[in-house]
């Protein structure tokens, strides 16, 4: 087997070769290119043929995966071994969506029975609320849920609801994440406290933003319903004692284990709000789609493994070609939050500068991710994608069968396919000049316009296609990117399951908050001290 340093050197050399040729030309010299670089997994079709690698480069990338021992790392992940070394934890989100009867273990101890028990409790509660058997003060059925969380406790459920919500939902599900009071005020506006369930999600139940918002929601309930309003509170936490101290009844606290990272947690009771508002059958299908992708990732050989190939394509661009930014563009309005979800999944997981042992990585890690729904993005940032000075790879996510007007869906898909083609093939200046000349423009106008209307092309993309946006397909595509993120972490030698980078700012914020509330001033740099002084003089800034 090739040693890791040699495999990395070969990948970087392959990147150097790729920078001197055009992607479109590879189709001419590699007749089996599409067959080798397109595959189907868990109901998704993945086309990586518009990526900048040749089939020889792909071989070098697969050699890197072998040298980095991706297969052994995958076995450790599914085996419940400690893969989050800095916190001494496994990462077993796959256990959350496995069918009943699975035998997942965390550090040698069975966890599947606890998962199944929690899932059964979720189902009972979700179905009870939907059927009106579980009611609030005054025996009124719940018609609204306010889901309070932040980060992974918010983005996953928010994405699932946005993607799958019915046009006229029986239960109005609203989300609150930001500690900015405007969000909680907007979420509570117009709701009837007697018919509203508040679900607070925090692994530790100490998260400042979540507790602040949950406190406001609790006060809103109590003001209308009295102390009995606490019956409208539900918690999802690994700290049931803290949830109970907050006022949540023990039978309304749902489990959240320390081997589940927040950004991988939507499959757990973190998704309870969605299970209630969408119905248990929908939530179960979401789990099934993710589990199907788990099986594919665990069993498919590396050369035909969708998460592995997607990860290798991104690493080839990031390290082989030095491209620090990637766009994700879902051509489905319901998936408009997918780029934001991936920002946390990828940038929090792999935005690391040291490896799992604390040593400098020595190469670029996670790319910055941005995006929006197509076709909206075409009228915002696609100018930069097509003609900007940086080459920005794009992930296109499209749905073959949409909802509503068929002609509009056809236009949407035409744009997705055309944009991917345009990014790759571009438009030569000579072709533009000929068209302008045929249109009768004079030479001066042609000289001015032709360079501006030419497209360099040779800009790579991946294309992910689902037949329909079903719960199963959504589960599969989320799990695809979860495993892709894990593989990238293995290649870079980093821990994809901790997030120490969020801690310093939170620690300093607690100190600054005390100063804004009139506490003694600490030592700060001049800029920070001036801001604190300015804000402390504003009474609204020091309100609790």
**Contact status, residue 385 vs residue 459, Cβ threshold 8 Å:** yes
**Of the listed 285, 292, 346, 348, which one is catalytic?**
348
Q: Tokens at residue 147, please?
A: 């889901």
**311: nearest Cα among 466, 459, 480:** 480
Burial class (CB in 10 A: 0-12, 13-18, 19+), 455: middle
Burial class (CB in 10 A: 0-12, 13-18, 19+), 353: exposed
What are the start-end ranges of the E strands in 281-381? 325-331, 368-370
Q: Using CA of residue 270, residue 274, residue 279, residue 283, what is the dihedral sign? A: negative
First to last CA, the chain: 60
In the annotation, is 484 catalytic? no
Q: What are phi and psi of 172, to 5 degrees?
A: -85, 110
In the annotation, is 314 catalytic? no
CB-based contacts of 110, cutoff 8 Å, min separation 6: 103, 104
| Helix, strand, coil percentages, rounded to 5, for the chain | 55, 15, 30
Rounded-to-integer distance, Cα 526 and Cα 466, Å? 53
Q: Tokens at residue 318, please?
A: 């990031």
In the annotation, is 348 catalytic? yes
Rounded-to-integer distance, Cα 159 and Cα 345, Å? 13
**Of the listed 13, 185, 241, 379, which one is catalytic?**
379
The DSSP code for 263 is G
Q: Tokens at residue 432, please?
A: 């533009």
**Of the listed 227, 281, 445, 506, which one is catalytic?**
506
Active site residues: 348, 379, 506
């Amino acid at each position: 087997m090739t040693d890791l340093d040699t495999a990395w050197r070969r990948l970087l050399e392959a990147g150097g070769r790729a920078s001197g040729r055009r992607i479109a030309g590879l189709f001419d010299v590699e007749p089996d290119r599409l067959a080798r670089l397109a595959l189907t997994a868990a109901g998704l079709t993945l086309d990586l043929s518009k990526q900048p690698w040749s089939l020889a480069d792909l071989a070098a990338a697969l050699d890197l995966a072998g040298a980095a021992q991706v297969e052994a790392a995958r076995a450790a992940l599914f085996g419940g071994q400690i893969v989050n070394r800095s916190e001494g934890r496994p990462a077993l989100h796959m256990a959350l969506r496995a069918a009943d009867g699975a035998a997942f273990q965390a550090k040698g101890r069975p966890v599947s029975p606890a998962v199944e028990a929690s899932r059964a409790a979720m189902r009972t509660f979700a179905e009870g609320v939907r059927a009106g058997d579980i009611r609030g003060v005054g025996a009124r059925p719940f018609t609204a849920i306010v889901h309070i969380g932040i980060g992974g406790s918010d983005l996953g459920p928010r994405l699932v609801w946005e993607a799958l919500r019915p046009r006229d939902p029986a239960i109005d599900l609203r989300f609150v994440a930001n500690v900015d009071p405007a969000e909680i005020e907007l979420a509570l506006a117009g709701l009837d406290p007697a018919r509203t369930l508040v679900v607070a999600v925090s692994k530790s139940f100490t998260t400042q933003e979540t507790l602040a918002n949950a406190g406001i929601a609790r006060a809103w309930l109590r003001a209308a319903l009295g102390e009995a309003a606490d019956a409208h509170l539900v918690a999802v936490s690994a700290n049931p004692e803290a949830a109970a101290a907050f006022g949540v009844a023990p039978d309304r606290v749902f489990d959240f284990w320390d081997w589940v990272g927040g950004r991988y947690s939507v499959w757990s009771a973190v998704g309870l709000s969605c299970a209630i508002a969408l119905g248990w059958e929908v939530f179960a299908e979401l789990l099934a789609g993710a589990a199907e992708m788990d099986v594919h990732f665990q069993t498919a050989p590396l050369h035909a493994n969708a998460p592995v190939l997607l990860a290798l394509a991104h690493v080839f661009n990031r390290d082989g070609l030095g491209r620090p930014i990637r766009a994700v563009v879902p051509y489905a309005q319901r998936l408009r939050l997918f780029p934001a979800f991936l920002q946390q999944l990828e940038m929090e997981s792999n935005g690391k500068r040291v490896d799992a042992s604390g040593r400098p990585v020595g190469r670029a890690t996670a790319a910055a991710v941005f995006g929006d729904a197509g076709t909206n993005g075409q009228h915002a940032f696609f100018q930069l994608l097509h003609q900007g000075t940086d080459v920005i790879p794009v992930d296109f996510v499209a749905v073959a069968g949409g909802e509503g007007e068929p002609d509009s869906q056809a236009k949407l898909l035409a744009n997705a396919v055309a944009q991917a083609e345009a990014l790759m093939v571009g438009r030569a200046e000579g072709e533009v000049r000929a068209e302008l000349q045929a249109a009768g423009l004079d030479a001066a106008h042609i000289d001015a316009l032709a360079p501006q209307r030419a497209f360099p092309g040779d800009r790579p993309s991946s294309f992910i296609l689902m037949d329909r946006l079903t719960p199963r397909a959504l589960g599969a595509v989320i799990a695809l990117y979860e495993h892709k993120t894990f593989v990238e972490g293995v290649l870079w030698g980093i821990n994809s399951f901790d997030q120490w980078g969020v801690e310093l700012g939170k620690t300093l914020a607690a100190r600054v908050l005390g100063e804004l509330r009139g506490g003694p001033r600490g030592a700060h740099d001049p800029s920070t001290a001036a801001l604190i002084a300015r804000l402390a003089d504003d009474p609204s800034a020091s309100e609790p």
